[in-house]
Amino acid sequence: MLKSVRLFKVKFPSQSNERGHRVLRSASTSLKEWHVQKLYHSQTATNSVELKEHPVSTKPVNKFIDRTHTCGELTSENQNQKVKLCGWLEFQRMGKFGILRDSYGSTQCIVDDKDSDTTEKLKKLPFETVLSIEGTVILRPEGQSNPKMKTGDIEVLVESIEIFNSTKPQLPFYIRNHNVAKEALQMQYRYLSLRFPEIQKNLRLRSWVTMKMREYLINKCGFVDVATPTLFRKTPGGAQEFIVPTQHIGKCYSLVQSPQQFKQLLMVGGIDKYFQIAQCYRDEGARNDRQPEFTQLDIEMSFVSREGVMNMVEELILNSWPDSLGAIKTPFHRITYEEAMENYGCDCPDLRIPGKISNVSKIIKETENKFDESCEFYATVFENKQQFLTKSVKEMLSKLSKQMSDDVKLIQMKVSGKDLAELQKLFTESTRTSLSNSLNVKENDVLFIIYGPKSDARRTLAKLRLEFTNFLESKGEKIRSPGYKFAWIVDFPLFEINKDTNILETTHHPFTHPHPDDMKHLFTNPLQVRGLQYDLVLNGSEVGGGSIRIHQKSLQEKVLNMLKIDPTEMYYLLEALGSGAPPHGGIALGLDRYISLLCGATSIRDVIAFPKTMEGKDLMSGAPTLISKEDKELYHISISNDSEKKENENK
Amino acid sequence: MLKSVRLFKVKFPSQSNERGHRVLRSASTSLKEWHVQKLYHSQTATNSVELKEHPVSTKPVNKFIDRTHTCGELTSENQNQKVKLCGWLEFQRMGKFGILRDSYGSTQCIVDDKDSDTTEKLKKLPFETVLSIEGTVILRPEGQSNPKMKTGDIEVLVESIEIFNSTKPQLPFYIRNHNVAKEALQMQYRYLSLRFPEIQKNLRLRSWVTMKMREYLINKCGFVDVATPTLFRKTPGGAQEFIVPTQHIGKCYSLVQSPQQFKQLLMVGGIDKYFQIAQCYRDEGARNDRQPEFTQLDIEMSFVSREGVMNMVEELILNSWPDSLGAIKTPFHRITYEEAMENYGCDCPDLRIPGKISNVSKIIKETENKFDESCEFYATVFENKQQFLTKSVKEMLSKLSKQMSDDVKLIQMKVSGKDLAELQKLFTESTRTSLSNSLNVKENDVLFIIYGPKSDARRTLAKLRLEFTNFLESKGEKIRSPGYKFAWIVDFPLFEINKDTNILETTHHPFTHPHPDDMKHLFTNPLQVRGLQYDLVLNGSEVGGGSIRIHQKSLQEKVLNMLKIDPTEMYYLLEALGSGAPPHGGIALGLDRYISLLCGATSIRDVIAFPKTMEGKDLMSGAPTLISKEDKELYHISISNDSEKKENENK
């Protein structure tokens, strides 16, 4: 909002051509390089100029706030304007020169040589003092502009300083270097690490992306944003849910692990197109890069097909994609689960890595008969990377392979000659030639072959391929293509057998609709049945998953029965399906992971304002803390005593 | 999105002028009035017309969904179009006639007399069956339009029906009459009550308003939407917080009662302009119209004044105000706490009720000396309402007055004559005349006078004034002016004395900044100190509250000390204030209450998708439920046994 501005004549502070000593280097240079130098103003003396008093910025961020501009917006166009900035004193030297920083950038400020009061005041201030500065925008002397700073063409000649708040002199880390501050310290003093421009950028990007998602869903598609409860009853199966004791003796809520049941009930209730950005909870104990509470974009639609949901998500992502990350194309690749496993050995392939893994069993078994019928061979090639396959790397990969499976055998080799002579103990020449031709290997390539039981073999090779890629990139080799590669994985098997309990389990959740083409196998051969589900993969990470749901009560009852889940635990959902449930389906996008990929953050903790450690601790507040006597009484609970404690620990 | 449409010639189903018997009355008439009548189509026979095949609606709600239109959008402009609708069978009669309903409206469908297959199919379907109908839009016969229905000019001539899901024949209530369904039943079968157009409207309005709020805050003011944790450590003081046991023995999180501390820490972290729509939790036991979890629009800004926040909120509300509710004006009234108490007897006055309460102590004490110095007199007048002050009403009000305070005396009377002769036992004639003139009473007015200790007197009169207003309105008298009346209440006292413990408590929370003008009294006479806080009142309900916060560590320490709050319980917040905290302030709007006022709902439960009862029970799922043995072990807790239980209950 541009306030009406008052024009008036003001006497410009008289300036000698030589202003004297002052710090010359700009804000983006390193501290060590700071030095003092004489400088000359090129500005010719115009002692009386037409000034605008406090022209308020047109930027919305300055609305209702007692400043004229942020520290990130003044340019040469603001020359001669009187301005008021608020922020943190990032740096000052000799009371003559300072850098004022706020959430939007930094501005260089200088104090006139004759203004000894301000100099004395500024001199005493520790870094990170909060203050406001009023002054006049002047051009930096010729040759002193800093093109790396948004405000690099100007500086503010200080007329007055107001100190809002003092700061203790020694903060645990300096706000200028994000990478130097240890993560544990950053979490303990989160209110300080939030000041790092990197974290500011991440949180602001997150806000921007989620707003664009909302605009797309509501304004362009007519979705309704509906909040659902987080205090609910335990969902049978699924992840461990936190409990919340109540004043009703022995009775607890569970914190929802997702709004899955609610969104299906909303469809039964005719909400038709629902979304929410939902807080969800899982008590998974210590797991890296997981948080006890996390955020998902939760979506559900009625009368929709699998393709309908996938098309919608593609448009959603296009419409909320930051331009700065480069263009992405829709439709995304659709890969069946079986194709993904066969070509990448995993169901969340990183399509930025060129090539695939190859099933070479047919080639080998055509000419060799010494291998077991069930033995399968998978190979992958890294072109011209032989110098990186050192002894220690081989040992590392060997170890990794054993960790993945004891039942597979690994061959890792540098290719020298088309005949793969290195493999002569294992394969005949004809096999080796077929293999060489099929894989199109060349001198100096690195070849990995893994054989053994199919699922172990491809899973292990996928892991080695990823690890070797990461190793190569750590050595400066560029393997992955730049940018963002999305893919849909579809046609997952609906069920799997839990190897420990030998019980049928779902690969997604018990509400996923079986693939219509496979309905005939549902009761006879459930492991052959595919589900109408879809996972969204970005750069090798699963960022979302969903399905078309079962909307018929009788089918849902049968599936719960197959899974040995007590149907009385969700009688209300079954009742709802029997009360006019439309066909429906949806998806949930894991926002923390998705945003961290967009930010290029190494951990989801970098896109969360107040993250917890992988043990679920908040290093800032010390949460969780010991329960009080009053709370124990109010909630009728007691904590197991030490002997019980040990028993439990030994279980 | 308008798909490219294919134009082609199609043979229109041949129609005799007389289509035979069918139900005539439209969807909005009562069931009893349904009757069968012969009807004639006025449409002249054009057996070959140019049709568009499935022209897809331009409405965003139909994107990605397997329908051409919703049940709420077809008009005469769609005449002759082939359409596909999905929805619930709200009504059918004899298989000839049906009403299909979805979230957007209802559409009347008819079956051609010759189409006995469809008739047979439709006839068997119970109400609320989910189906899709394909057919052709035709105009209703002349004189049969229903102007109350959006689709009242047309009907769809059914060509095919697909049944998606059957429904059990007898649902617990019928979706046509919201007011008839008992609230407990509606909560138990929430997935059904969500289908009521009233609830649909409320949830959609809620989504619309919150989206407009987001658009205003982000796009017009540069706010950042930041999610903060709900699992945190206990806040000392304040409401009872739910606890969440963890696998760390004896240690619990608390569910946050508001993001208050986080938003202040975000300001220290330089987020500058923060908001979020936050889920908050309070374990307040059984309280009507409160939910264990609730939603607030939480806002905080740095470098802002009290007026800055209030101006921002006014613009926010203007920018998210539904046109259908009529215009509102800003700025809102600003009323000091003392004015509010003196003129309305409460700090959330309903400004729709005309008039005020009057302090008549001065008039009375000038001429009477029999009353105690501390006794204060308040009066209020209801013009020309004497016929409503019956004996039973007087008894009811008398009782209410006693409930409010034993220390006050109530006079309730019909005015007959200017001299208030009815009061001659209490007051001299001169007092009565002054009183009469001052209050400007007239024959047939109702006059209430309450006297006693000041705070009890005005509080009690406020309550009686409200109750008598409600009583009058229940009798059809219009007292309140229509529309929406906002007000800010400012200059609250910062502290009050807890009468039970005799300890100083805050009226808002311990983080509110004292009024700068009153800082001098802070340690000498804290009860005289006003706070920089503000409550937003709408139609007599508090819908929001906030303050400028203390940003200096030393002041915050002193205030915590005065309140006997252990500062080590929030050492991190104090540390943060000492690490460069900018001046800051904000507000929280109670969204459930605010939206329910906008919707004209009688309870916040009507604007929440899945509400709990006032005992915190979810009647649909039965939550909270008994804790399992496995959870007890995992979280190292046991439930107090029966004898302990009784002990606790007796406490």
Contact B640 A639 (CB under 8 A): no
End-to-end CA distance of chain A: 65
Please state whether beta strands A105-110 and A154-165 pair in parallel, antiparallel, or not at all (unpaired).
parallel
What is the pLDDT, as a whole number, of residue B169? 82
| Minimum Cα–Cα distance from B639: chain A residue | A637
Contacts of B88 in chain A (CB under 8 A): 270, 580
Instruction: Please tell me the predicted confidence (pLDDT) of residue B400.
Output: 96
State percent of chain B over pLDDT 90.
Answer: 79
Q: Is residue B250 predicted with pLDDT exceeding 90?
A: yes
A214 contacts on B by Cβ (under 8 Å):
211, 214
Distance CA A74, CA A153 (A): 9
Tell me whether residues A65 and B303 touch, CB distance under 8 A.
yes
Rounded CA separation B225/B227 (Å): 7
Omega before residue A331 within 30° of 0, cis = yes
Q: Do the Cβ atoms of B637 and A639 come within 8 Å? A: yes
CA dist A393 → A388, A444, A596, B538, B633 (Å): 8, 16, 30, 70, 44
Inter-helix orientation angle B197-214/B306-319, to 10°: 130
- Sign, CA dihedral B433-B439-B440-B444, equals negative
- Is B547 in contact with B510 (CB distance < 8 Å)? no
Are the CB atoms for A227 and A276 separated by under 8 Å? yes
Determine whether the interchain pair A240/B634 forms a contact, defined as Cβ–Cβ distance below 8 Å: yes
Which candidate, B243, B189, B525, B227, places its Cα nearest to that of A255?
B243
- Within 8 A of B227 by CB-CB distance, chain A residues are 277, 279, 295, 608-609
Asked if B648 and A636 come within 8 Å (Cβ–Cβ), the reply is: yes
Q: Residue A95 in contact with residue A21, Cβ under 8 Å?
A: no
By residue count, chain A amounts to: 651
Closest CA–CA distance from residue B327 to any residue of chain A (Å) = 23
Q: Which residues of chain A neighbour B207 with C-beta distances below 8 Å? A: 218, 224-226
Q: How many CB atoms lie within 10 A of CB A169?
A: 8
Ranges assigned E (strand) in A394-443? 409-414
* pLDDT value at residue A284: 87
Instruction: Determine how many CB atoms are found less than 10 A away from the CB of residue A467.
Output: 15
Reported as a single tens digit per residue, the pLDDT across B356-374 is 999 999 999 888 888 888 9
Phi/psi at B49 (5° precision): -120, 160
Task: Tell me the C-alpha distance between B596 and B290, whole Å.
Answer: 12
Nearest residue on chain A to B286, judged by CA atoms? Answer: A247
What confidence score (pLDDT) does residue A288 get? 75
Concatenating the DSSP letter of every residue in A530-566 gives: BBSEEEEEETTEEEEEEEEBP--HHHHHHHHHHTT--
Residue B141: Cβ-neighbour burial (10 angstroms; 0-12, 13-18, 19+) = middle
Q: Give the three-class secondary structure for B51.
A: strand
CB contact under 8 A, B103 and A191: no
- Residue to mutate among A610, A615, A644, A645, with most B CBs inside 10 A, is A610
pTM: 0.89
Dihedral sign, Cα of residue A175, residue A176, residue A177, residue A180? negative
Which positions in chain B touch A279 (Cβ < 8 Å)? 227, 230, 279
Q: Choose the closest CB to B103 out of A215, A271, A292.
A: A271
pLDDT bucket at B24, cuts 50 / 70 / 90: very low
* B contacts of A167 (beta carbons < 8 Å): 578-580
Of B594, B592, B355, give the one whose Cα is nearest residue B466: B355
- For residue A192, give the nearest of B206, B283, B579 by CB distance: B579
Our CA-based measurement puts residue A295 at a distance from the nearest CA of chain B, in whole angstroms, of: 9
Nearest CA in chain B to A128: B580
Contacts of B651 in chain A (CB under 8 A): 633
| Most A CBs within 10 Å, among B88, B174, B619, B637, to test the A interface | B637
pLDDT number for residue A237: 77
The reply to whether residue A618 touches residue B233, judged by beta carbons under 8 angstroms, is yes
Contact A227 B295 (CB under 8 A): yes
- The average confidence (pLDDT) of chain B is 88
Residue B180, pLDDT score: 78
Contact predicate B442/B416, CB 8 Å: no
Ramachandran region of residue A191, left (φ > 0), alpha (ψ -120 to 50) or beta? alpha
Residue A417 host element (H or E): none
The nearest alpha carbon in chain A to B267 belongs to: A191
Partner-chain residue, chosen from A211, A552, A624, that has the shortest CB–CB distance to B225: A211
Per-position DSSP letters for B27-39, written without gaps between them = TTS-GGG--EEEE
Contact B191 A576 (CB under 8 A): yes
| Token couple for B167 | 């429904």
Collapse the DSSP code of A462 into the 3-class scheme (helix H, G, I; strand E, B; otherwise coil) and give the result: helix
Site from B293, B610, B630 to mutate, A interface, most A CB atoms within 10 angstroms: B610
Q: What is the pLDDT of residues B176-189, one digit of tens each?
A: 777 778 889 999 99
DSSP string, B332-378: PEEEEHHHHHHHHSSSS--TTS-S--EE-HHHHHHH--SS-TTEEEE
CB pairs under 8 A between A and B: 410
| Mean pLDDT of successive 10-residue stretches along chain A, which has 651 residues | 34 32 31 28 34 58 93 96 96 94 96 94 94 97 92 97 91 82 92 95 97 97 97 89 96 97 98 97 84 97 97 98 95 97 97 96 89 93 95 96 95 89 89 94 95 96 97 96 97 93 90 96 95 97 97 96 92 96 98 97 94 94 94 92 50 44
- Please give the structure tokens belonging to residue A262: 């609610």
The alpha carbon of residue B623 is apart from the nearest alpha carbon of chain A, in Å, by 5
| Segment B109-141, tens digit of pLDDT | 999 999 999 999 999 999 999 999 999 999 999
**CA gap A89, A171 in Å, rounded:** 13
A-chain CB neighbours of B228 within 8 Å are 609-610
Cα separation, A302 vs B102, in Å, equals: 11
Query: What are the backbone angles phi and psi of residue A59, rounded to the nearest 5°?
Result: -75, 135
* Residues of A with Cβ-Cβ distance to B260 under 8 angstroms: none
CA distance B320 to B313: 11
To probe the interface with A, which of B243, B274, B647 has the most A CB atoms within 10 Å? B243
Distance CA B106, CA A480 (A): 54
Q: How does DSSP assign B388-433, residue by residue?
A: G--HHHHHHHHHHHHHH-SS-EEEEEE--STT-GGGTTTS-HHHHH
| Three-class DSSP category at A24 | coil
* Residue in B130, B262, B616 closest to A246 by CB: B616
Residues of chain B with C-beta less than 8 angstroms from the C-beta of A634: 240
Which amino acid belongs to residue A593?
R
Percent of chain A that is helix, strand, coil (3-state, to 5)? 30, 25, 45
For residue A650, the 8-state DSSP code is: H
- All residues of chain B having their beta carbon less than 8 Å from the beta carbon of residue A257 are none
Rounded distance, CA B371 to CA B375, Å?
A: 7
Rounded CA separation A69/A53 (Å):
13
Nearest CA distance, B455 vs chain A (angstrom): 33
The nearest CA of chain B is from the CA of A351 a distance in Å of: 27
Contact between A61 and B620 using a beta-carbon 8 Å cutoff: no
Which of B195, B210, B232 lies at the smallest CB-CB distance from A621?
Answer: B232
Closest CA to A312 of A601, A9, A589: A589
Give the lowest-confidence range in A441-455, A612-626, B8-22, B438-452.
Answer: B8-22
Distance between CA atoms of A100 and A87, rounded to whole angstroms? 6
Residue linked to tokens 């998606």: B164
Alpha-carbon distance values, B393 to A221, B357, B450, B458, B460 (Å): 54, 20, 16, 20, 16
CA separation for the pair B635, B265 (Å, rounded):
31
B618 in Cβ contact with B189 (< 8 Å): no
Query: Is there a contact between B203 and A638 if contact means CB atoms under 8 Å apart?
Result: no
**B244 to chain A: nearest residue by CA?**
A244
* Whole-number Å distance between alpha carbons of B278 and B300: 13
- In chain A, the residue whose alpha carbon lies closest to the alpha carbon of B271 is A103
Judging contacts by C-beta atoms under 8 Å, the chain B residues touching residue A303 are 65-67, 86, 132, 164
As a whole number of angstroms, the distance between CA A511 and CA A551 comes to 8
- Give the lowest-confidence range in A45-54, B30-39, B227-236, B419-428: B30-39
Which one of A128, A579, A621 has the shortest CB-CB distance to B580? A128
pLDDT the model gives residue A421: 86
Nearest CB to A262 within list B86, B271, B610: B610
CA proximity to B297, closest of B234, B211, B231, B239: B211
Find which of A134, A534, A621 to mutate to test the B interface (most B CBs within 10 Å of its CB).
Answer: A621
B56 — pLDDT class (breaks 50, 70, 90): low
Q: Are the beta carbons of A269 and A252 closer than 8 angstroms?
A: no
Strand partners, B293: B281
What H or E segment, with its residue span, contains residue A312? helix A306-319
Question: Which residues in A lie closer than 8 A to residue B192 (C-beta atoms)?
Answer: 268-269, 579
What's the pLDDT at A55? Answer: 55
pLDDT in tens, B207-222: 999 999 999 999 999 9
Distance (Å, whole) CA B29 – CA B21: 19
Q: Report the 3 state secondary structure along B545-575.
A: EEEEECCCHHHHHHHHHHCCCCHHHHHHHHH
Q: Which residue of A has its CA nearest to B568?
A: A621
Contact: B164, A622; criterion CB under 8 Å: no
Q: Is the dihedral of CA A519, A524, A530, A533 positive or negative?
A: positive
CB-nearest partner of B304 from A65, A104, A253: A65
Distance CA A236, CA B634 (A): 16
- For residue A633, give the DSSP letter: H
Q: At what angle do helices A454-474 and A391-404 cross, to 10 degrees?
A: 140
Cβ-defined contact of A243 to B245 (cutoff 8 Å): yes
Smallest CA-to-CA distance from B409 within B389, B426, B433, B429 is with B426
